[in-house]
């Protein structure tokens, strides 16, 4: 009985995390204060939800945890309010596109140009120059994490 109750509590917690991660209420400005143990669960929930929409990824959740940590610090340092006020899920999508890891059947540069636009790509250039160069080449060359 106790084990069943523990499993039920864990499942309810994971459901709550999945729901919270997918809502617009969990913004990048909330990310740095999130418990380190919960971050991979949030990322996995976001990746799984994208999979429902026929998007696949090759990078592991840990990659996105580290990149979101770095991106949140960058956005706070530069006071980029639009990124900070945007959901973690949408920021993860931005990072996946930048790193050629947003696989939805559309050529990477074409999708990045439509999804992010010139202005955002220019804004992200200082932090992700190698990744954006790779993206401009339709992901034909390896990008270095920066």
Per-residue pLDDT of the chain (146 residues; tens, 9 = 90+): 555 433 333 334 444 444 444 445 899 999 999 999 999 999 999 999 999 999 999 999 999 999 999 999 999 999 999 999 999 999 999 999 999 999 999 999 999 999 999 999 999 999 999 999 999 998 986 555 55
pTM given for the model: 0.80
Whole-angstrom CA distances from 11 to 50, 115, 145 are 20, 34, 34
C-alpha–C-alpha distance, residues 128 and 57, integer Å: 19
* Helices H / strands E in the chain, number of each: 7, 0
Q: Are 92 and 46 in contact (CB under 8 A)?
A: yes
Instruction: Give 33's DSSP letter.
Output: G
pLDDT, residue 21, reads: 46
């Amino acid at each position: 009985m106790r084990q069943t109750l523990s499993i039920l509590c864990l499942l309810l917690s994971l459901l709550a995390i999945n729901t919270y991660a997918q809502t617009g209420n969990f913004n990048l400005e909330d990310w740095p204060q999130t418990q380190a143990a919960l971050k991979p669960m949030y990322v996995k929930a976001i990746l799984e939800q994208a999979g429902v929409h026929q998007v696949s990824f090759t990078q592991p959740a840990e990659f996105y945890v580290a990149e979101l940590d770095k991106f949140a610090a960058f956005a706070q340092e530069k006071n980029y309010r639009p990124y900070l006020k945007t959901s973690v899920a949408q920021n993860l999508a931005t990072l996946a596109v930048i790193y050629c890891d947003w696989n939805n059947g559309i050529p990477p540069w074409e999708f990045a140009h439509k999804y992010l636009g010139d202005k955002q790509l220019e804004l992200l250039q200082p932090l992700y120059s190698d990744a954006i160069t790779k993206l401009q080449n339709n992901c034909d060359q390896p990008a270095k994490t920066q």
